[in-house]
Copies of this chain bind each other. A is one copy, B any other.
Amino acid sequence: MSTRDKARAGARPHHAGPEELVQTAAMARRFYLDGKSKIEIAEEFGISRFKVARTLETAIRDGLIRLEIRLPPELDAERSDALRTRYGLSHAIVFTSQVQDPGGAALVTRRLGAVAAGLLAEIVTEDDVLGLIWGPEIEALGPELTTLARCTVVQLCGVTPLRPVDANAVEAVRRAAAVSRGVAYPIYAPLLLPDGATARMLRRQPGIVEAVGRFSQVTKAVITVGAWGPELSTIYDALSDAERENYRSQGACAEVSGHLLDGEGRIVAPELTERIIAISFEELRRVPDVILLADGSQRAAATAAALKTGLFNGIVTDTGVAEYLLA
Contact = CB atoms under 8 A, between A and B. Distances in A.
B25 A81 contact: yes
A5, A22, A67, A77: residue with the most chain B Cβ atoms closer than 10 Å = A22
B65 A69 contact: yes
Interface string A41-76: 000000000000000000010011111111110010
A125 B1 contact: yes
B70 A1 contact: no
Interface residues of A, number: 51
Contacts of A1: 123, 125
A4 B63 contact: no
Nearest to A10: B147
Contact of A75 (B22, B63, B119): B22
B18 A67 contact: no
A21 B93 CA distance: 10
A262 to B, nearest CB: 31
A16 B123 CA distance: 11
Contacts of A102: none
A77 B29 contact: yes
How many copies of this kind of chain does the complex include?
A: 2
B18 A122 contact: yes
A147 B66 CA distance: 29
A28 B283 CA distance: 36
Given A4-B126, A26-B84, A81-B22, A118 B65 contact: no
Contacts of A119: 17-19
Interface string A1-20: 10111011000000011111
A102 to B, nearest CB: 26
A242 interface: no
A67 B65 contact: yes
A17 B68 contact: no
A19 B77 contact: no
A91 interface: yes
A201 interface: no
Contacts of A278: none
A70 B66 contact: yes
Nearest to A79: B22
A80 interface: yes
A18 B93 CA distance: 7
A125 B8 CA distance: 10
A70 B65 contact: yes
Given A19-B93, A21-B75, A93-B18, A67 B33 contact: yes
A149 interface: yes
Contacts of A80: 22, 25-26
A67 to B, nearest CB: 5
